[in-house]
Structure 1
Amino acid sequence: MFENLIKSVFGSANERYIKSAQKIVAQVNGLEPQLQALSDEELQGQTAKLRGLIDGGASLDDILPEAFATVREASVRVFGMRHFDVQLIGGLVLHRGEIAEMRTGEGKTLMATLAVYLNALEGKGVHVVTVNDYLARRDAAEMGKLYNWLGLTVGVIVPGMPEEYKRDAYNADITYGTNNEFGFDYLRDNMKHERSGMAQRPFNFAIVDEVDSILIDEARTPLIISGPTEDKSELYVQLDQVAREIPIEWLDIDEKSKRVQLTEDGLEQVEALLIEKGLLASDNLYDVENTQVVHHLDQALVANFARKRDTDYIVKDDKVVIIDEFTGRMMDGRRWSNGLHQAVEAKEGVRIEPENQTLASITFQNYFRMYPKLSGMTGTAATEAAEFWDIYKVGVVEIPTNLPVARIDEDDEFYKNTADKFGAIARAIREKQEIGQPVLVGTVSIEKSELLSNYLDKEGVQHSVLNARFHEQEARIVAQAGRLGAVTIATNMAGRGTDIQLGGNVEYRVLDELGDMPEGPERDAAVARIKAEVAAEKDQVRAAGGLFVLGTERHESRRIDNQLRGRSGRQGDPGLSRFYLCLEDDLLRIFGPDTLFSKMMNSNLADGEAIGSKWLSKAIETAQKKVEARNYDMRKQVVQYDDVMNDQRKVVYEQRSEIMDSEAVDDVVLDMRHDTVNAMVGAACPPGSYPEQWDIAGLKARTEEIFGFVPPYDEWLAEDEVEPEMLEERLRALTDQMMADKMGEQDHSIWRMIEKDVLLRQLDHHWKEHLSTLDALRQVIWMRGIAQKQPINEYKQEAFVLFETMLDDLREEVTKILFRAELRFEEPAPAALPELPDFLTGHIDPLTGLDNSDDGDGSEMRPELFGSLAGSPRAAFGPGGVNPENPWANLDISRNALCPCGSGNKYKHCHGAVGANQTV
């Protein structure tokens, strides 16, 4: 109550923000006449002028009004489109590193040009992130016309692009690409060994288009680059045998979630069993060093007790093939992750394929948080404003529409079952098509799209069905979804990023209908005709009520529903939206108040009857909020675990960068060697212990293992007042002298390269193994909750210990390799020619049809080719009429046959070439 009273007096925070932004909009508008008076050349010169101001110490905020006014005027001249005042506010929001929520059709792509241009003037690079490759290429090409006209460079990155092209794209002032490609390039860059091979520049500013889709919906799944691991087949088989010996009484099996865990009694029994079989590194099952064994044992238990043959999978052609639990179809090529598929393969006795090991990974949350300034734009972000702030520290600002929204949002209609609901939907669509009102139908899955299509066929309704698979094709269909009487069925995300214009889209109609027509008066007349037709059709559609958006069920997230609704009513157009629900919808079935809905609807509704109520719609919204909260908790958990790895990732990647940038790493190698010595002596001679308690035999063995020699420890120990510090000091001095002698024998520049290479390779190897261990740890850490411990806190502690252990192992391994390495310079062996496979050749004359393969294919030398030279051709390599430099000249050989010298080239391109040595 008091909150509403305060808002009525002072306005909401969003309203106050918009009001304060109007002052800057007024400054931009005040500069407009001045810039309109400039010639094209003078307006294009604004870029150099503004960059000069930045070089002179001006901030981006100082030049913002002039930069925005420049872009607005340039847009008028390049596109014939002038930014609305609300788009100027949106550009300001993006520049300030916040999220602009702007309704569909209000011009987000054009709005972004303001902030992109302003921030690109610094020359540090601006990344524009899109949801798919088609939009990245489209926006780079379209908006690139404006940027290029103003003197800025634009690049676009797509999968499979050659590295040199990708580097050029990242070095451009503005780079377009997808979230996946930006993230994978970051991971790939941090797997390279030369700075020159890295594609990305330091992060500066990113604008994320459809920010809710990328930073919320896709943020649950991390980006992972993986490769095959070493063969662990024996371990899988051994643990499968252990699992078979475990009686079911030792297990707690959850069939619903397909999870199997050991009971308290079972834990003790299995621990003893594993110790007896020698599979544990220590006598405690849950010591860190046993993490991998515990993880794979868990998967062996799931494979044996929770995955059933011919229900969850089948064995076909000596391979385990998963069966889809929903459709019952075989899923060839799909594999269970985290070693479960290998466990099932061990159970069935088929060939065990190696696991894919994580080489590098990052979540979208941690990737995008690396940008010093991050902003985004979408039509729906307000419902997730709390998550955007908690995770990314970016606020959400709702941008007012340029014209008032005229769309009517009707209450939901509820039905008993799917058949009733889809029957009602098909009838409603037919009625709308009859009056010419276009209909956009949003479904939650491809399956539901196909089901509805069948109902529409029965009603005789012409329609298009598309889904989010073929982005370019679907963009064309969605762009024309506003035509008279059009019916388009789409999954909720299909065609996102494409405007639906009433009456149709002129640009796409021109492309489709006049694609091959050359420029000229005839084409100009055809374009004018299309524009007139679209304008006339738009008036008809507006009269019919505008676009009718129909949702076949509510999504788990209110945002997705709002996205669908937002496709209608752009720029003040009329529109209508309505959602149809039934008791069998997933949202109501899983999350709705089951007894309330079921009792009321089953007892009060006849078959085919509908009910609509604001109260019911409110209850659905409450269910959606529950799901959103649950999904947020899941994403937050992903972030919490990845944050632990992220701190370690930053350290490792920064260290890699320093190593790559250094000309020499001898100081790092020296510190590693000294730390290794100190650790060895410290383990054998603990502080506070007596010399007679020291493990000198173990110290000798470790020294010989790492350094390849045994120092005179006995002589050193015979001295009075021996301390561990003295042993450390002498061993360090001895190893330093031996390394100095070794380096004195080598070329210093080559040795520096070797040190750098070894250090990078070992760092990558140990980091890869560390990631694998963390993956396994995360799979089993939840079990600590049984002991009333917080799994995330336990994970943090264990991960820290594992990271320290990894660094110790790294120091030791680098020291060992460099100390024992020997340089040998040898002439490289001549490259052996690969063996060619057996093959048959055919050479058919196209005129006669005769097979002329006997022309000679170089596989043998036929005596008849050489006339009097029958026998060994080498016998005639003297002065008897054959040039020794060209023994094949003047012989009767087909010019298109392979040369008999065995080069593999045709004779006319080899010894039969014009100008080749001939006998006289």
Structure 2
Amino acid sequence: MFAGIAKAIFGSSNDRYVKSLGSIVRQIADFEPALEALSDEELQAQTPKLRARLAAGETLDDILPEAFATVREASKRVLGMRHFDVQMIGGIVLHRGEIAEMRTGEGKTLVATLAVYLSGLTGQGVHVVTVNDYLATRDSEWMGQVYRWLGLTVGVIVPNLSDQQRRDAYAADITYGTNNEFGFDYLRDNMKYERSAMVQRPFAHAIVDEVDSILIDEARTPLIISGPTDDKSELYMQVDAIVKQIDPADYELDEKQRSVILTEEGTEKIERMLEAAGLLEGANLYDFENTQVVHHLNQAMRANVVFKRDTDYIVKDGKVIIIDEFTGRMMDGRRWSEGLHQAVEAKEGVEIEPENQTMASITFQNYFRMYPKLSGMTGTAATEANEFFQIYKMNVVSIPTNVPVQRVDEDDEFYKNMQDKFAAIATAIRDKQATGQPVLVGTVSIEKSELLSEFLVREGVDHKVLNARYHESEAHIVAQAGRLRAVTIATNMAGRGTDIQLGGNLEFRMLDEHPDLAPGTPEYEARADAIRAEIAEEKAAVLAAGGLFVLGTERHESRRIDNQLRGRSGRQGDPGLSRFYLSLDDDLLRIFGPQTMFAKMMNKNLADGEAIVSPWISKAIETAQRKVEARNYDIRKQVVEYDDVMNDQRKVVYEQRSDIMDADTVDDVVADMRAETVNALVGEACPPNSYPEQWAMDVLKERSQALLALDLPLDEWAAEEGIDPEVMTERMQQAADAHMAAKAQELPEDSWHQVEKNILLQNLDHHWKEHLATLDALRQVIHLRAYAQKTPINEYKQEAFALFERMLSAIREDVTRMLAHASFAAPPELPPMPDFMTSHFDPLTGEDDTLDLDGASLGLVTTRMPQFQMAQPAMVDELGSDPSQWEGQVSRNAPCPCGSGRKFKHCHGQL
């Protein structure tokens, strides 16, 4: 109660903070008259002047008012848009590493120019992160006009660029790109063998557009780079042949869990067959040495017993294609993981394609936390403010609107079942269309969109359904959703980044209706004037009809997604209306359970087709959403906790790689590894406080031969009077150092240094890759420790640390062994970078959202970016003009040599 009174008198903490920024906004305004009086050349000279002040020791805060005023004036001259004072507040918030929550239509894209320009003056590079390639390209061109006019360089990162193109884009003052592309470039850079091959610079500042979508929704799943493993097709076929000989009595099948387990008799039978085939080490199938065989056996049994042809998969053109269990559609290109797909291929006798193994991975949480300064902007962040602070240490600041919001948010309407609900929705849309009011309908899935579309067809309502996968066509449709009588059905995330203007959007109408006209020509301007007049007339009619009507077909798990949908209406003081329709069949309402009083009340008291509208029920739904949000936060927090363990190790490994690449020589690293290996050898064979006669000299002799390539008189040393382990260690070390010094003389000094560096990098990469696979397997089973009253995350930390120690020890031993035994005529070649597969699964759909930049999905982008379509004559000359000869010479994920801008595998390399 007292808090409410205090808030009413003094305002909320957010209000007080925003008010405190007013003095800086007034300083910015004070520069405006002087800057308006400057010529274009004088205004452009502001950039070198401000950079000189930074070089002289001033801070970004010192030059902020003048820099922001410069951007405001440049924007007026280049784009014809002047920043409002509330947009200046948004720019200050972004500069301070906070999140600016601004309502839809308040110009977040323009706000970003302020903080981007200021950070760009440092020359360290500022990354502007968007949710898709279309927005990255659009914003880099649109806002890039201001930056380039002021003398800053702008780059854009999209799929299918060469390393040199990426390097140039990252070297720019300002770099636009998607979260996926930035993250994958970081992972790929840390797999390179030379510093010069890396494309990114040290991180400085990232500004994330739609920050809630990127740092919360998409952060549920990590970025993964995988590559092919060794070919094990022979092993798959051998195990498959054995599995085909067992009977149903040899195993127990659990159809519900889709698992199959051998009986005791079945285990003995399999052991005999594996032994006969030479695949079993020892007599026991479950010995540690047979782990790989057990894994292959389990997958072969699942393939033969659980997975049915023409139900779970089909065989088409010699390939096993998965069938989606929910839709019955073929999922061409998708493969089961952990060797299951290969086991099914062996079962069907088709060509076995190699498995993919995780080579590098990172979560968005840990990627973005590497930036010294991180800020973001969105229309909806306040409901997740706690999570943003807990994980990213970012405060959410709600920026007031330039003009008061006039949208009316009505209470939800409740129906008994989905059929009644959709019938009511269709009727409401038909009535609104008759008055001319445009309607934007939000659905939770493509299936629901199609279902609603059928209802609207029956009602005779003309409408458009968005395919959310094609961002560019999506932008075109959403941009016109505010036209008279327009009805647009969109999925929950559709069209973000595109402003819905009442009456229509001039730019998109010109692109759609007159793509042949070039901007700036008399014909273009004449046609634009005519369309401008039509838009003004339509806007007046739409305003009279009540503005945009946003209709939600059900509530989402998160209030934030609902608010995103509502926020599409009522931009910049326009009138608007929003309403949600719910039924007991909705996913969220099922949380209450069918036996609750709420469900019973609705079933008893509601006639078919009748609705309830009650603020009390709306409040109950909001409470349910809060619970679901809290649960989802806990899930994401757990993902971060587990990845933090791996992240600490990832930093150590990547820093070590970086140091190795930067060093002229790694003699000291190799010598330290050799010393630690000798220490470990002697420590194992000659424990402290033991007598020489108790030492395991046979083991020490064998291990020193294997690891150090030395045949030493260890027995004689052990027989000496007063010998102790330290003396043994010192002698072995001297012998090992002398042996390596002699080997180093066999090659020129530079070549020997290169040998050490290459072997070190190869071993580090090999063991890190294996370590990732082990940690992934550990992560999947560690929860079982909870049954022993132990905390899984603490157990995971202990196990992961022990595994990391073991990995470091294995690297030391392997490097020492390889250098001791191998003979080199020249430095060994480092293996070529493998043909990577990148994946990031959309947490909402489960589909891989790392789409290729192909003309089909982003036509507008490719037409606007001729630099990515330029022919590559040098490459064609080198490879020959016959595309049939390029196979094997061009990586399948590399840009096609023909210059189409598409990946080779999607162009002339199609199988």
Confirm or deny: 8 A CA contact 2:243 2:301 kept in the other structure: no
The one-letter amino acid of 1:536's match is: E
Shift of 1:469: 1.2
Q: Which residue of 2 aligns with 1:663?
A: 664
> CA-to-partner distance for each residue in 1:531-567, whole Å, 9 max, x for gaps?
1221121111100100011111111211111111100
Report what 2:496 is aligned to. 496
**2:452 paired with 1:446:** no
What one-letter code is carried by the residue in structure 2 that aligns with 1:200?
Answer: Q
1:171, 1:101 → 2: CA distance?
30
Partner of 2:116: 116
Whole-angstrom CA distance in 2 between matches of 1:136 and 1:423: 39
Q: Aligned partner of 2:529: which letter?
A: A
Aligned equivalents of 2:21, 2:805: Cα separation in 1? 50
Q: Give the C-alpha shift of residue 135 in structure 1.
A: 0.4
**Partner residue in 2 for 1:625:** 626
1:318/1:507 CA distance change after superposition, 3 Å: closer
How many residues align? The count is 823
Q: 1:754 to 1:417 in 2, by over 3 A?
A: same
Aligned residue in 2 for 1:410: 410
In structure 1, what is the equivalent of residue 901 of structure 2? none
Assess, with a 3 A threshold, how the Cα gap between structure 1 residues 648 and 630 changes in structure 2: closer, same or farther. Answer: same
Normalised TM-score (structure 2):
0.85
Larger radius of gyration: 1
The one-letter code sitting in structure 2 at the alignment partner of 1:222 is P
**Cα gap change, 1:271 to 1:407, in 2 (>3 Å):** farther
The Cα of 1:125 is off from its aligned counterpart by: 0.4
Structure 2 residue aligned with 1:480: 480
Q: Which amino acid aligns with 1:805?
A: R
2:597 and 2:296 map into 1 onto residues whose CA distance is 45
Higher relative CO (Cα under 8 Å, sequence separation at least 6) belongs to 2
TM-superposed deviation, 1:762:
1.2
Query: Given the alignment of the two structures, is residue 5 of structure 1 paired with residue 11 of structure 2, yes or no?
Result: no
Does the C-alpha gap of structure 1 residues 568 and 640 become closer, same or farther in structure 2, counting only changes over 3 Å? same
Distance in 2 (CA, whole Å) between partners of 1:284 and 1:176 is 57
Is it true that 1:648 corresponds to 2:649 in the alignment?
A: yes
Q: Distance in 2 between matches of 1:246 and 1:594?
A: 46
Change beyond 3 A, Cα 1:596–1:816: same
1:272-671 pair list within 5 angstroms: 311-313=311-313, 320-342=320-342, 353-517=353-517, 519-590=520-591, 594-671=595-672
Question: Would you say the 8 A contact 1:130–1:179 is kept in 2?
Answer: yes
How has the CA–CA distance of structure 1 residues 679 and 349 changed in structure 2, closer, same or farther, with 3 Å as cutoff? Answer: farther
Deviation at 1:674, TM superposition (A): 1.1
RMSD: 3.1
Aligned to 1:756: 757
Report the CA distance between 1:616 and its aligned residue: 1.6
In 2: Cα distance, 1:173 partner to 1:653 partner: 25
In structure 2, runs of 5+ residues without a counterpart are 830-911
Report Cα offsets for 1:401-435 as digits up to 9, x if no partner: 11111011111111222222211111111111111
CA distance, structure 2, for counterparts of residue 626 and residue 172 of structure 1: 44
Deviates more, 1:103-112 or 1:555-564: 555-564
How far 1:304 sits from its partner (Å)? 7.4
Aligned position for 1:899: none
Following superposition, the deviation at residue 337 of structure 1 comes to: 2.3
**Structure 1 residue 118: Cα displacement:** 0.7
* Alpha-carbon shift at residue 8 of structure 1 (Å): 2.5
| Structure 1 residues not aligned, in runs of 5+ | 829-920
Q: Deviations over 1:490-509 (max 9, x none)?
A: 11212110000001111122
Which residue does the alignment assign to 1:192? 192
1:773, distance to aligned residue in structure 2 (A) = 1.2
- Aligned pair in 2 of structure 1 residues 247, 383: CA closer, same or farther (>3 Å)? farther
> Aligned letter for 1:613?
S
Alignment of 1:842-853 (within 5 A): none
**2:596 alignment partner, SS class:** helix
1:846-881 deviations in Å (ceiling 9; x for gaps): xxxxxxxxxxxxxxxxxxxxxxxxxxxxxxxxxxxx
Alpha-carbon distance in structure 2 between the residues aligned to 1:287 and 1:113: 62
Separation in 1 of the partners of 2:296 and 2:16? Answer: 57
Deviation at residue 158 of structure 1 after TM alignment: 0.6
Which residue is 1:768 aligned to? 769
Structure 1 position 825, deviation (Å): 6.0
Match of 1:814 in 2: 815
What is residue 137 of structure 1 aligned with on the other side? 137
Secondary structure at 2:21 match in 1: helix
Query: For 2:199, what is the secondary structure of its paired residue?
Result: coil
Is the contact made by 2:594 and 2:600 (CA closer than 8 Å) also made in structure 1?
A: no
Name the TM-score, length of structure 1 as normaliser.
0.84
In the alignment, which residue of structure 2 is the partner of 1:161?
161
SS in 1 for 2:335: coil
Residue aligned with 2:612, SS: coil
Deviation string 1:808-863 (CA, Å, 9 cap, x unpaired) is 1111111111122222269x9xxxxxxxxxxxxxxxxxxxxxxxxxxxxxxxxxxx
Give, in whole Å, the separation in 1 of the partners of 2:84 and 2:107: 9
The question of whether the paired residues in 1 share the 8 Å contact of 2:751 and 2:826 is answered with: no
**Which is further off, 298-307 or 371-380?**
298-307
Shift of the alpha carbon at 1:758? 1.1
**2:283 & 2:21 partners in 1: Cα distance?**
67
SS in 2 for 1:586: coil
Contact kept, 8 Å, 2:251 with 2:260, in 1: the verdict is no
The answer on whether the counterparts of 1:288 and 1:798 sit within 8 Å (CA) in structure 2 is no
In 2, the alpha carbon distance for the partners of 1:290 and 1:202 equals 44
Question: 1 CA distance for matches of 2:812 and 2:507?
Answer: 62
For 1:191-227, what per-residue CA distance to the aligned partner results, in whole angstroms no more than 9, with x for missing partners? Answer: 0011111000000000000011111111111101001
Higher mean C-alpha deviation, range 789-798 or range 377-386 = 789-798
> Does 1:88 find its partner at 2:88?
yes
Name whichever of 522-531 and 489-498 sits farther off: 522-531
**Cα deviation 1:612-664 (Å, max 9, x = unaligned):** 11122122222222222222222112111111110000000001111111111
> Matches of 1:641 and 1:709 in 2, distance apart?
43
Give the deviation of 1:668 after TM superposition.
0.6
Per the alignment, do residues 628 and 765 of structure 1 end up closer, same or farther by CA in structure 2, a change over 3 Å counting?
same
Q: Alpha carbons of 1:353 and 1:366: their partners in 2 closer, same or farther (altered >3 Å)?
A: same
**1:16 aligned counterpart, secondary structure:** helix
Partner Cα separation in structure 2 for residue 154 and residue 394 of structure 1: 26
Percent identical:
71
CA deviation digits over 1:694-722, x for unaligned, max 9? 11111111111122231111221231111
Contact 1:183–1:364 under 8 Å retained in 2: yes
Q: Is this contact kept in 1: 2:548–2:569, CA < 8 A?
A: yes
CA distance, structure 1, for counterparts of residue 633 and residue 283 of structure 2: 40
Equivalents in 1 of 2:209, 2:271: separation in Å? 53
Kindly indicate whether the alpha-carbon contact (under 8 Å) linking 1:295 and 1:780 is maintained by their aligned counterparts in 2. Answer: no
How far 1:164 sits from its partner (Å)? 0.7
**Residue deviations 1:881-920 (CA, integer Å, cap 9, x gap):** xxxxxxxxxxxxxxxxxxxxxxxxxxxxxxxxxxxxxxxx
In structure 2, C-alpha distance between the alignment counterparts of 1:76 and 1:458, rounded to whole Å: 49
Q: Cα gap change, 1:526/1:656 in structure 2, threshold over 3 Å: closer, same or farther?
A: same
- Give matches, 1:836-847, under 5 Å: none
1:455 partner amino acid: F
Aligned to 2:744: 743
For residues 250 and 604 of structure 2, the distance between their equivalents in structure 1, rounded to whole angstroms, comes to 46
Aligned-residue offset at 1:254: 8.8
- Contact 1:648/1:803 (8 A) holds in 2: yes
Give the CA deviation at 1:589.
Answer: 2.7
Matched position secondary structure for 1:819: helix
The yes-or-no answer on 1:223 pairing with 2:223 is yes
Deviations 1:103-147 (A, max 9, x none): 000000000111111111111000000000010000000000000
- Paired amino acid for 1:74: A
Higher mean displacement: 586-595 or 395-404: 586-595
In structure 2, relative to structure 1, the CA distance for the partners of 1:261 and 1:628 (3 Å cut) is farther
- Which residue number corresponds to residue 824 of structure 2? 823
For residues 143 and 128 of structure 2, the distance between their equivalents in structure 1, rounded to whole angstroms, comes to 11
Q: Which residue of 2 aligns with 1:705?
A: 706
CA shift at 1:688, angstroms? 1.8
1:55-108 C-alpha deviation (Å, 9 max, x unpaired)? 111111111111111111111111111111110111111001011110000000
The Cα shift of 1:742 comes to: 2.0
| Residue of structure 1 in register with 2:175 after alignment | 175
SS of equivalent to 2:5: helix
The whole-number CA distance in structure 2 between the counterparts of 1:272 and 1:642 is 41
